[in-house]
Amino acid sequence: ARLAEVRLQAGESQQAAATADRANSLARGNPYLEARNWRTLADARRQQGDTQGAQLARQQAEQARLRQRVEIDPDASLTRQA
């Protein structure tokens, strides 16, 4: 995740996207890393002018973020409905 962010900051959006994608394949089951990688991927796609791809990556980041909440509070969905 960190290497992808460094590449993105260096303006290497294609390498950043590839690194974040690779890191995500290794981060399965870790929603914290998945969300971080998806956000980096979204920023890289935005830098490349791929607004639709960036939006899809942001949605994936949000889904991973929501999985973080469930892991922290398994009853989160129940409390939201009450």
Q: Which H helix or E strand runs over 50?
A: none
The structure tokens listed for 25 are: 């394949």
Q: Using CA atoms in the order 40, 45, 47, 49, what is the torsion angle rounded to 10 degrees?
A: -160
pLDDT tens by residue, the chain, 82 residues: 899 999 999 999 999 999 999 999 999 889 999 999 999 999 999 999 999 999 999 999 999 999 887 666 555 555 444 3
Question: Is 18 buried (19+), middle (13-18) or exposed (0-12) by CB count in 10 A?
Answer: middle
Neighbours of 19 (CB within 10 A): 23
Indicate the pTM of the whole model: 0.81
* Mean pLDDT of the chain, nearest integer: 89
Neighbours of 75 (CB within 10 A): 9
